[in-house]
Amino acid sequence: MTDRTGLELRSLITSAGELTLSLEEVAVPDPGPGKVVVRIEASPLNPSDLGLLLGPADLSGMKASGTADRPVLTAPVPEGRLKHVAARLDQSMPVGNEGAGTVIAAGEGAEGLMGKRVAMLGGSMYAQYRTLPAAACLPLPDGATAAEGASAFVNPLTALSMVETMRAEGHKALIHTAAASNLGQMLNRICLADGVKLVNIVRKPEQAEILRGIGAEYICDSSDPDFEAKLADAIEATGATIAFDAIGGGKLAGQILAAMETALSKGMEYSRYGSSVRKQVYIYGSLDLGPTIIDRSFGLSWATGGYLLTNFLAAASPEVRDRMRNRVAAELTTTFASHYAGELSLAEALDPATVETYQRKATGVKYLITPAKGL
């Protein structure tokens, strides 16, 4: 038995309207049967983590306090936004969906993982140590670094689930927005390997360049004045009738549906209800937190809605889940390779200037938290 403790990053929003990020010393339970303790070496700052980490705080009001070893960051949360986080108010929340590290203790039945480097999914990863079930760990190939294994779940499984969903719902090609992201690049490599046609929507010419460099064929830049016409052309060429949108806010989801309808209507007899082909846009991210604005100009055979990997996996058959996990393990450093702009210690992750950088979620500016360093 040990009395191990470790630092854990916590996010707290009070009902008085203040966000506080801090590092708390927490007990690390010894591993019971089937469990392991992992020393966490790398954990990505994914957009899905930032929502929990920063909430709807007004970051222009960030203030640093505390000490170098135990920094504290505070920021005001405007009163009008508190209702969106009512269910988490006044609770100190651990953060970090996924990560990688080394097993330093193993309970009964999990001894085979002792000393192994593993990837993990399960929350509370912005911490020095994590006790969790062996089944939540994916052993990494020999020689793989923690950085290579840090993003083995969220992005790879989400990208694979998009292709699975496309097939399961009877579509034959797909559309992806924010397409130059780490996830977008994985999706391009999957689609190229599998012969699936993919329309990539980006917001800047340099993002188009990244995608051309990895062999993407269909790229539409939403900053192009002819964006809607070019998107309709790409949809006509590919037959894409399903899209996965990381942006969420603004008019993009509606523009995609309208472009699908334009492509489907060519040569079709007029129907006041539009084409009868189902047009689907799934919103899986909120890079734009503003409202989704859908200008309904495309008949009645359309759908949009939220998309969450967890829901997909809960509904998927064990065969589908195994197929996805096995492919990630086999292609971790190729198809599913991620790129990071840098590494941050737990303390560095609370520095206001650093927060300002990573909260922008800009393409190519994803950071890894490396809790084993610098503390």
Binding site for a copy of itself (CB under 8 A): 48, 51-52, 83-84, 86-88, 91, 93, 248-249, 254, 265, 268-274, 276, 283-284, 286, 289, 291-297, 299-308, 310-311, 314
Q: Which is nearer to a copy of itself, 182 or 286 (CB)?
A: 286
Decide whether 80 or 143 has the Cβ nearer to a copy of itself.
80
CA distances to 273, 275, 301, 302 from 297, in Å: 10, 11, 11, 11
Label residues 326-340 b or e (16+ Cβ within 10 Å = b): ebbbebbeebbebeb
Nearer to a copy of itself, 292 or 338 (CB): 292
What tokens were used for 342?
Answer: 């840098």
Task: Tell me how far, at minimum, the Cβ of 14 lies from a copy of itself, in Å.
Answer: 14
CB of residue 326 vs a copy of itself: minimum separation in angstroms?
A: 26
Closer to a copy of itself by CB, 302 or 358: give it. Answer: 302
- Residue at 146: amino acid letter: A
The DSSP secondary-structure symbol of 73 reads E
User: If you write DSSP's letter for every residue of 158-213 in order, what string do you get?
Assistant: HHHHHHHHHHHTT-SEEEEESTTSHHHHHHHHHHHHHT-EEEEEESSHHHHHHHHH
Instruction: Please tell me what DSSP assigns to residue 31.
Output: P
Q: Least distance to a copy of itself from the beta carbon of 276, Å?
A: 7
* 136: Cβ contacts below 8 Å, ≥ 6 apart: 120, 121, 122
How far, in Å, CA of 331 to CA of 157, rounded?
Answer: 12
Cα radius of gyration (the chain): 22
- Tokens representing 297 are 């100009």
CB closer to a copy of itself, 88 vs 204: 88
Smallest distance, Å, CB 181 to a copy of itself?
18
* Residue among 68 and 273 whose Cβ is closer to a copy of itself: 273
Among 3, 361, 374, CA closest to 182: 361
Shorter beta-carbon distance to a copy of itself: residue 106 or 232: 232
Q: What angle do CA 169, 259, 242 make, to 5 degrees?
A: 15
CB closer to a copy of itself out of 47 and 101: 47
The least CB distance from residue 9 to a copy of itself, in Å, is: 15
